[in-house]
Amino acid sequence: MTVNLNAHLTAHTPNPSLLDSAEVAAPSRPKRGVATTSALWPQQSVIKISLLGMTPEQEEFTKTNINKWAPHVNLTFEFTDDSDGDIRIAADNDLSGGHSYLGIRSLNVPAYKPTTVIGFQGGLNAYNAGTIQHEFGHVLGLQHEHQHEHNNLDINWSVVNKAYIGKGGAKEVKHNFKPLVSNVVSSEYDRKSIMHYGFASSWLNDGKAIKDNNELSEGDINFVRSLYPPVVKKKTATSSWWDYRHLHRGA
Ligand SMILES: [Zn+2]
């Protein structure tokens, strides 16, 4: 099943209609990255995830890549065999790249529609693994890193605009490339972020291509930990007592 939320040229592209936001950034101090604060999940949420139209191998691959985020957030990812998860991820075997709603905005999507689409063209390769991690970054509320206000990209707009003719045009370019200057929480620009697009050499005026990032960067991990900080469990009186007793029982 394919529900094309939007046609996209470039991989890892979210639904552009979701990138307009009008919220005030929270006083958070993330390490790196860009996120829309109002799209973030409540702390310690349990997110139910349905995988739609996938082979068992695609399901396993998708779970593995989503779970790369899991150790770094206080959220719980609960995969369900039912099709009514909070997040409904559909496979598209003819697509390279993907798209997704942003964070909790997925909760407003009618239940019969997917909230995220993953392209599996080319099979279970490193690029598609990167797509899953990238799209799930959008699910967590993250925006495109190359749209960081302080990115140091010198984009050749005429080439990029030309590439999008017939594929969403200027509107699509704006949504996927123009810096996000308000309504977001962000910090230091991170070119290695999973949320950063790869750029062909012709798309940048310095002619130096940026390759696709297919794994979470250290910046991604630090940023998402700042958004969903780990819960510190206090040592309970019971465990102290147990430790004490254990100590004195000897061998
Ligand atoms: Zn994207």
Query: Residue 184: inside a domain, yes or no?
Result: yes
Q: How far is the CA of 245 from the centre of ligand 1 (A)?
A: 53
Q: How far is the CA of 249 from the centre of ligand 1 (A)?
A: 57
Query: Residue 11: inside a domain, yes or no?
Result: no
Q: Which domain holds residue 73?
A: 16-249
> Quick one: pLDDT at residue 248?
52
Q: How far is the CA of 251 from the centre of ligand 1 (A)?
A: 57
Q: How far is the CA of 236 from the centre of ligand 1 (A)?
A: 43
Query: Residue 221: inside a domain, yes or no?
Result: yes
Q: How far is the CA of 56 from the centre of ligand 1 (A)?
A: 25
Query: Residue 8: inside a domain, yes or no?
Result: no
Q: How far is the CA of 10 from the centre of ligand 1 (A)?
A: 9
Query: Residue 4: inside a domain, yes or no?
Result: no
Report the alpha-carbon distance of residue 51 to residue 59 in Å, rounded.
Answer: 7
Q: How far is the CA of 52 from the centre of ligand 1 (A)?
A: 20
Q: Which of 99, 103, 121, 107 is nearest to 3 (CA)?
A: 99
Q: How far is the CA of 99 from the centre of ligand 1 (A)?
A: 6
Q: How far is the CA of 193 from the centre of ligand 1 (A)?
A: 11
Query: Residue 90: inside a domain, yes or no?
Result: yes
Residues of the chain with pLDDT under 50: 1-11, 13-31, 244-247, 250-251
Secondary structure class of 98 (helix, strand, coil): strand
Residue 119 contacts residue 97 (beta carbons within 8 Å)? yes
> Quick one: pLDDT at residue 10?
35
Query: Residue 229: inside a domain, yes or no?
Result: yes
Write down the pTM of the prediction: 0.81
> Quick one: pLDDT at residue 232?
81
Q: How far is the CA of 76 from the centre of ligand 1 (A)?
A: 22
Q: How far is the CA of 13 from the centre of ligand 1 (A)?
A: 4
> Quick one: pLDDT at residue 238?
57
> Quick one: pLDDT at residue 235?
62
**What is the distance in angstroms between the CA of the first residue and the CA of the last residue of the chain?**
61
Residue 187 contacts residue 32 (beta carbons within 8 Å)? yes
Q: How far is the CA of 137 from the centre of ligand 1 (A)?
A: 8
Residue 70 contacts residue 49 (beta carbons within 8 Å)? no
Report the alpha-carbon distance of residue 216 to residue 78 in Å, rounded.
Answer: 21
CATH value at residue 63: 3.40.390.10
Q: How far is the CA of 101 from the centre of ligand 1 (A)?
A: 10
pLDDT in tens, 30-85: 446 889 999 999 999 999 999 999 999 999 999 999 999 999 999 999 999 999 99
> Quick one: pLDDT at residue 61?
98
Q: How far is the CA of 63 from the centre of ligand 1 (A)?
A: 19
Q: How far is the CA of 145 from the centre of ligand 1 (A)?
A: 9
Q: How far is the CA of 127 from the centre of ligand 1 (A)?
A: 13
In terms of DSSP bridges, do strands 185-186 and 46-52 run parallel, antiparallel, or are they unpaired? Answer: unpaired
Structural domain count of the chain: 1
Report the alpha-carbon distance of residue 236 to residue 216 in Å, rounded.
Answer: 34
> Quick one: pLDDT at residue 33?
80
Query: Residue 21: inside a domain, yes or no?
Result: yes
Q: How far is the CA of 89 from the centre of ligand 1 (A)?
A: 15
